[in-house]
Amino acid sequence: VCGVLDAEESASLYTDADLTDQQWNTIMRHLRHKFNASVAVSLLETKRRCYEGYTAPRVKVIYHREGEKEEEKIVAEYQDIKAEFKKAVEVLLRVKQVGKRKRVKRIRLVIGGDHGQGAFRLGFRVLIDTESDEGEKEVLHKTINIATVHCKKEVGAILESTVIDWVTEDLKYINENRLHLLNVNRRVVTCFESD
């Protein structure tokens, strides 16, 4: 069996499977290795057209040297937490068919990161406490990767030089601007107070 996926079909696969950029890149790496070929699909423009709410990552490249070691090229990618948080809340409420904002009792954002397999990854989990009209309680949750810093070792100076300012700015914004839930056409949508 053989075939070719064009850019739109690839983006459809990406969207339908709900893949993260990191997962897509892993699949591409395995395909390149398995078929010993140049498998490349540029999804950035296609995702912008096909994937509702796609947040293009900010990218920063720095060079870091620790002591007498050889200089290392560090590539960092970061997606806006504000946009990803709003989108995650809306997606969870839509998928779980929470059509009334009064069913939402509390929304929490938990952030964390870890270094492994040549990169530091930063993610967050959104947790939504809901209650049905019958009093049934449920916690909805979704985990999102928002930053990847490709580096051999986790060093605070590298994080400070790449993604920390972006993370700090976005978390400050989220803290200072209340997230509002609005009922629109039997669907809950979100906006920040200053939007």
pLDDT at residue 136 greater than cutoff 60: yes
Please report the pLDDT score of residue 149 as a whole number: 93
| Average pLDDT, integer, range 106-114 | 94
23 vs 146 pLDDT, higher one: 146
Q: Label residue 49 by pLDDT band (50, 70, 90).
A: very low
Section 85-106 average pLDDT: 88
Q: Which two tokens stand for residue 165?
A: 């300012």
Burial of 43 (0-12, 13-18, 19+ CB in 10 A): buried
Distance (Å, whole) CA 122 – CA 116: 11
Residue range 59-73: average pLDDT?
A: 88
Alpha helices in 17-163 (DSSP H): 21-35, 44-50, 81-95, 156-162
Work out the average pLDDT over 64-68.
Answer: 83
Q: What is the pTM of this model?
A: 0.69
Report the pLDDT averaged over residues 37-61.
Answer: 64
Element (H, E) at 62: strand 58-64
pLDDT bin (cut points 50, 70, 90) of residue 184 is confident
